[in-house]
Amino acid sequence: MMKDLAMHIMDIVQNSISAGATLIQVSINESAKDDTYLLTITDNGKGIPAEMIEKVTDPFVTSRTTRKVGLGLPLLKQHADSTGGSLKLESKEGSGTVVIATFGLTHFDRQPLGDIAGTMVLLAAANLKIRFVYEHTTPDGEYRFDTDEVNEMLEGMSISEASVMRFLKEMINENLKEIKISG
């Protein structure tokens, strides 16, 4: 079972990677006013065929061949539903997929965000050719992390160097603290 949202994100992003995405954008938008916690994962991968999209939240539907079940999206849907939210998918074959999960911000069953900094940095380090963008908006402000900007700064050095990863994690965590993200 996924213990926090960061684990769900790590999982759903794997779908985008398998779909051949070169740009994967994770956004979280906290709205105290509407009491919602909106998670959006957007990719430019190959997309999901129309006849498949209705069925992807069925645990017994998967496009993979190593096993017959696919639990990533069903688990995310179950979690979103349990907090009074929902899961929506929009996809166009050939241009990408958007996964939109809405949670109740203060709902008792909404899992904490967890180690999002570590998750994004690990994803970036393990998939050097993919551009990752992470955006987090709260009533106190917003923060944006973009691996394109990191790579520009690194001038050819790899994100996967342990000391770079350590630094990026600290940087993201400090900035998220600044905008007072919910746990």
Partner 1 sequence: MGQVKSLADLRKIKEDLQGKMSLRENSNNPESLVQIRVAMATCGIASGAKQVMEFFIEEFDKRNIQAVVTQTGCMGYCFAEPTIEVTLPGQAPVVFGYVDTKKADDIIEKYVKNGELVDGIIPVNYETIEKK
Residues 54-83 that bind partner 1 (CB under 8 A): 64-68, 70-72, 75
- List the one residue out of 150, 178, 139 whose CA is nearest residue 33: 139
Residue from 31, 126, 139, 180 in contact with partner 1 (CB under 8 A): 126
Count the site residues for partner 1 by CB under 8 A.
Answer: 42
- Residue 144 engages partner 1 in binding (rule: CB under 8 A): no
- Residue 161 engages partner 1 in binding (rule: CB under 8 A): yes
Q: What is the DSSP string of the chain?
A: ---SHHHHHHHHHHHHHHTT-SEEEEEEEEETTTTEEEEEEEE-SS---HHHHTTTTSTT--S-SS-S---HHHHHHHHHHHTT-EEEEEEETTTEEEEEEEEETT-TTPPP---HHHHHHHHHHH-TTSEEEEEEEETTEEEEEEHHHHHHHHTT--TTSHHHHHHHHHHHHHHHHHTT---
For residue 74, the minimal CB distance to partner 1 (Å) is 9
Can you read off the two tokens belonging to residue 117?
């900094």
Residue from 18, 82, 83, 113 in contact with partner 1 (CB under 8 A): 18
Complex with partner 1: residue 92 or 177, whichever CB lies closer = 177
- Residue 174 engages partner 1 in binding (rule: CB under 8 A): yes
- Residue 129 engages partner 1 in binding (rule: CB under 8 A): no
- Residue 14 engages partner 1 in binding (rule: CB under 8 A): yes
Residue from 86, 149, 180, 182 in contact with partner 1 (CB under 8 A): 149
- Residue 7 engages partner 1 in binding (rule: CB under 8 A): yes
Calpha distance 138→179 (Å, rounded): 6
- Residue 148 engages partner 1 in binding (rule: CB under 8 A): no
Taking a C-beta distance cutoff of 8 angstroms, is the pair 9, 31 a contact? no
| Residues of this chain that bind partner 1 (CB under 8 A) | 1-2, 7, 10-11, 14, 18, 64-68, 70-72, 75, 115, 118-119, 122, 125-127, 149-150, 153-155, 157, 160-165, 167-168, 170-171, 174-175, 178
